[in-house]
């Protein structure tokens, strides 16, 4: 397992959008999926998850429907909306560009100066 990384403020929404973009999932499933796709590197505070989900739903980036969970309980499933897909692509591009730039800056050698 990789060492756990702190999420920067504002990045939680991006990670949640990614987790939901992989398939409809309920709230607890979002938590597990983030843990899974980040190989345990990103651990989301359980209390912070729901305000973020409701915020995304309020902005129209995800929608929700009630369904049945794997343990036969009533559960609320989240799905990415068209608006959410667009937002996710934009945020991902922006993040990748920033991460690449920072990585490039951090890997610079004295010869490049």
Partner 1 sequence: MSGPPGWAAVAGALARLRSWYRSIVHRDATERAIREEFEQHIALHTERLVREGLAPDAAARQARVAFGHAESHREDARASRGLRWYDQLRVSALDVKLGLRMLAKHPVISVAAVLALAVGIPVGLAPSHIAAAVEAPLPGDPAHRIRAIRYWDPAAVAVAATTTSEFAYWSRELRSFSALAAFRASPIQVALDDGRPEPLEAAQVSAATFAVLGVVPQRGRALHPDDFVPGAAPVVLIGAQVWRTRFASDPAVVGRVIRVGRELSTVVGVMPEGFRFPSYAQLWLPMRLDATAQAGGGATVQIVGRLAQGHTAEQAQAELERLVPPLTVDASDAERRARLRPEVVPFGLLFMGLPAGGLDAMPEYYLAQLLMLVVLLVACGNVAMLVFAQTATRFKEIAVRSALGASRTRIVSQIFAETFLLALLSAALGVFLVDWALGHVNLAAIGGQTAMPYWLTLRVTSGTVVRAVLLATLSATAAGVIPAIGITGRAVYQHMRGGSGVRFGRLTGVLVVADIAVAVAAVGLSLAIVRQVTDMQGLAAAAGIPAADYLAVEFRPSDAAATDSGRSARALVTALGAEPGVRGVAVANALPLMEQPSRPIEVAGGDAEATGAQEWVRTVAADVDYFRGLGQVVLQGRDFDRNDLEGQDRHVIVNTAFVTQLLGGREPIGARLRFAARGAAAASAWHEIVGVVPHLGINAVNAERGAAVYVPTALDAITPMHVALHVGAAPMRLGPRVREIAQAVAPDLYMASPTALTEFRQGDWYLVLGLGGGLSVLAFVLVALAASGLFAMLSLTVTERTREIGIRAALGASPRVLVWTVLRRSLLQIGLGAALGLPLAAYFVSTVVGESAASPLWALLIATGLAFGIVLLVAAVSCAVPMRRVLAIEASIAMRAEA
Residues engaged in binding partner 1 (CB under 8 A)? 26-28, 45-47, 50-52, 54-55, 57-60, 69, 71, 73-76, 81-83, 85-87
**Separation CA 83–CA 43 (nearest Å):** 26
Instruction: For the CB of residue 96, give the shortest distance to partner 1 in the complex, in Å.
Output: 19
**Of residues 85 and 100, the one with the C-beta less far from partner 1:** 85
Running DSSP on this structure, what letter comes out for residue 71? T
Instruction: For the CB of residue 11, give the shortest distance to partner 1 in the complex, in Å.
Output: 16
Instruction: For the CB of residue 99, give the shortest distance to partner 1 in the complex, in Å.
Output: 24
Residues with Cβ < 8 Å from 20, sequence gap 6 or more?
A: 30, 62, 78, 79, 80, 84
Asked if residue 29 lies in contact with residue 93, where contact means CB atoms within 8 angstroms, the answer is no
**Of residues 55 and 79, the one with the C-beta less far from partner 1:** 55
């Amino acid at each position: 397992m990789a060492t756990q990384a702190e999420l920067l403020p504002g990045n939680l929404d991006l990670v949640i959008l990614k987790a939901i973009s992989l398939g409809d999932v309920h709230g607890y499933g979002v938590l597990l999926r983030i843990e899974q796709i980040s190989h345990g590197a990103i651990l989301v505070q359980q209390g912070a998850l729901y305000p973020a989900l409701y915020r995304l739903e309020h902005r129209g980036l995800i929608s929700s429907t009630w369904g049945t969970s794997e343990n036969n309980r009533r559960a609320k499933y989240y799905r990415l909306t068209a608006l959410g897909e667009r937002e996710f692509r934009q945020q991902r591009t922006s993040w990748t560009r920033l991460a690449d730039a920072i990585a490039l800056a951090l890997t610079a050698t004295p010869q490049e100066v």
